[in-house]
Amino acid sequence: MSGIAGKPAEHTEQGLKGIRDTGLEEVRLRAFLAHAWRTPKGFYGWLVTVDHKLIGRRYIVTAFLFLILAGLSALAMRFQLAQPEAGHIGPDLYNQLFTMHGTTMMFLFAVPVMEAFAIYLVPLMIGTRNVAFPRLNAFSYWVYLSGGLMIWIAFAFETGADAGWFSYVPLAGPEYGIGKRPDFWAQMVTYTEVSALAVAVEIIATVFKQRAPGMSLDRIPLYVWSVLVTAFVILFAMPAVMVSSTMLILDRLVGTKFFDPAAGGDALLWQHLFWFFGHPEVYIIFIPATGFVSAILPTFVRRPIFGYLGIVLSLISIGFLSFGLWVHHMFATGLPQLGESFFTASSMMIAIPSGIQIFCWIATIWGGRPIFATPMLFVLGFIFTFVIGGLTGVMVASVPLDLQVHDTYFVVAHFHYVLVGGAVFPLLGAVYYWFPKITGRMLSERLGRWNFWLVFLGFNLTFFPMHILGLQGMPRRVYTYPPASGWGEMNLLISLSSLVVFAGFALFFLNLLLSLRNGRIAGDNPWGASTLEWATTSPPPSYDFSRLPVVTHREPLWAEPDTLPVVEGLRVDAREVLAGTVADAVPQLRVPSADNSIWPLLSAIAVGGAFLGSIYTPWAVVWGAIPVSIGFICWFWPKGEPEDEE
């Protein structure tokens, strides 16, 4: 960087520390920023980077790899269930398969992939250069990766979790949980929750403090609102599963009696704590997906969203209400009827804000001129599928009906409609929508249409018949069924249809790989969208924006398509971002942003080692605390950053 080695006096105003961007010509500005925000080349750079885009990207890729693993375990189950009394997979492996499928989909795919997109997109959409705590972000990824690898390696060694994704006691308790299987599950939860909580904290701080000047609360893009609400839901929901999984591992490892009724404990306590997390978990996955829809829709109907305020209030109320529903997972446990009625009412109530959102989207389409590109197809597929899932949700919210279909394939159908229809469809739409921004290339529209129709039709053919099977009484989590049940033909149809879904996903990944190399060059704003991430290059530079934008309108790029209002006066020789007031985003501070560091990775290894060791001995927590402390101290100890001069 010879061009920036000496401090050019003309750019250092009297009394101001460091080199500022004021009046700096674009080429030199970019050279300075590229130097200040660089990630070292090579493998070492890969380990130390704190760039939210690199971390977001690797989060996304990792989450999709886990999706493949979970998808393959589903295929294996469908292979077994295609015929009655098939002998391909025995009950023990089958138990592990459905547990690994659910656990991976929920903890290692759905939540992380939603957070991954937030990590990538939020700083770009609110006009800053990185998340609030970049090293915490890097740390969260390594912890997540180690948790996911751990549980899958355990599975490879026949120690796969096998008590269902919610790991109910006493099945998972010391008495019935075989070997170390439930312990690996419990510690995987600890890893992924530490990671999810870390991301939630940084998203809250980033959205509250680092929005572009002028981006007041009523100008925040709806997608950002959705991830902000999600971050709060994570903040208050995830501690429940950390508390409960810690209690489970303590019961198993050191003989505590939390869930042992013979010693004053209670098995239902597990269910309460788990579902206090588990129900909001559904919304942790679903709320950002609605954010995708609210981001994609206006672009493809060429008009601002209808009912911005209504949607924001709906998101917030869904966030609140999601905490009042957990008992509807426990209707079959014999709880007092009055309590059940309350939870029926609150379960039905959440349909109101969800409905408001859907009507706002329909009104937006109604008032616009829809362009049926692939992201839009997935949004339409989402609305159709999610409405069905929502309606069966209202059905199972009612206690008598729930008791009939509890633990049957009806419930399997319901939650796949909600989760795949409600979250995976918008997610795939989001991949098509933001792939050009992330990679600089467009995905193939032709493959995209094939991808959509195969997944959409295959999904409905796979999961709709499960409603009927459930009503006919076929239970969940059985590795086989007798021929006399009459469920054989329907199961064969489901298994064949799941191959169509598989083919759809295969096309999706093929499209990604082909387009990465040969896709059409995207340009900055290929869709003519309105939000700030489209104001920078595709892919964005390491510093996101050469000058930080100022927001004067809710749809900034539609209000001023050719010019971007920006601020001046930030340092370019050190990493610096703006922090402003929470409500109105009035600039208050030029805050230094953390540089690359190896310590988040080393700390994650220390933390991971302590967690892993604690599966076998409680002393691992004591001895593990030493490397963990060293890691954290080295992480936080200042290392003479230039901004410390100020």
Partner 1 sequence: MRHRPVADVSHLPTYDFGSASPMWWGTLAFIALEATGFALAIGTYFYLAVLARHWPIGAPAPDLLPGTAALIILVASVVPNHLIEFWARRQDLAKVRLGMVVMSIVGILPLIVRIWEFPALRISWDQNAYGSIVWFLLGLHTTHLLTDVGDTIVLAVLMFTQKGKAGRRFSDVSDNAFYWDFVVVSWVVLYLVIYWAPRM
Kindly identify the residues of this chain, within the stretch 107-126, that bind partner 1 according to CB under 8 A.
Answer: none
| Angle, alpha carbons 224-226-232 (nearest 5°) | 105
User: CB of 271: closest distance to partner 1 in angstroms?
Assistant: 12
Instruction: State the nearest-atom distance from the C-beta of 323 to partner 1, in Å.
Output: 11
Binding residues among 613-642 for partner 1 as defined by CB under 8 A = 629, 633, 636-638, 640
Query: Per-residue x/- mask for partner 1, residues 232 to 271, rule CB under 8 A?
Result: ---xx-xxx-xx---x--xx--xxxxx-x--xxxx--x--
Cα–Cα distance, 67 to 1 (Å, whole number): 42
Closest CB to partner 1 among residues 218, 568: 568
Q: Which of residues 186-225 bind partner 1 (CB under 8 A)?
A: 197, 200-202, 204-206, 208-210, 213
Structure tokens belonging to residue 30? 């970019």
Min dist. Cβ of residue 524 to partner 1 (A): 7
Q: For residue 381, which phi and psi values (nearest 5 degrees)?
A: -60, -40
Q: Which CB, 260 or 595, lies closer to partner 1?
A: 260
Write out the binding residues for partner 1, residues 374-393 only, by CB under 8 A. Answer: none
At 113, the amino acid letter reads V
Question: CB of 11: closest distance to partner 1 in angstroms?
Answer: 11
Q: Which tokens is 537 given?
A: 């290059």
Rounded Cα gap, residues 132 and 593, in angstroms: 7
Q: Are 122 and 207 in contact (CB under 8 A)?
A: yes
Is 105:185 a contact under the CB 8 Å cutoff? no
Q: Which one among 92, 175, 407, 568 touches partner 1, defined by CB under 8 A?
A: 568
CA dist., res. 143 & res. 383, Å (int): 34
Site membership for partner 1, residue 324 (CB under 8 A): no
Asked if 239 contacts 293 with a C-beta cutoff of 8 angstroms, the reply is no
Query: Minimum distance between the CB of residue 218 and partner 1, rounded to whole angstroms?
Result: 20
Using CB under 8 A as the binding rule, the residues of this chain from 536 to 565 that contact partner 1 are 546-547, 550, 562-565
Out of 35, 272, 476, 477, which residue is the one contacting partner 1 (CB under 8 A)?
A: 272
Minimum distance, C-beta of residue 376 to partner 1, in the bound complex (Å) = 25
Site for partner 1 in 488-547 (CB under 8 A): 524, 535, 546-547
Query: 581-610 mask for partner 1 (x: CB under 8 A)?
Result: -x----xxxxxx------------------
DSSP 200-239: HHHHHHHHHH-PPTT--GGGS-HHHHHHHHHHHHHHHHHH
Asked if 644 touches partner 1 (CB under 8 A), the answer is yes
Q: Is 20 or 441 the residue whose CB approaches partner 1 more closely?
A: 20
Strand 576-580 relative to strand 587-592, pairing: antiparallel
How many Cβ atoms sit within 10 Å of the Cβ of residue 545?
Answer: 22
Select from 292, 113, 136 the least CA-distant residue to 203. 136
Residue 239 or 541 having the CB closest to partner 1: 239
Is residue 643 involved in binding partner 1 (CB under 8 A)? yes
Angle between helices 52-81 and 91-103 (to 10 degrees): 150
| Structure tokens that stand for 181 in this block | 């299987």
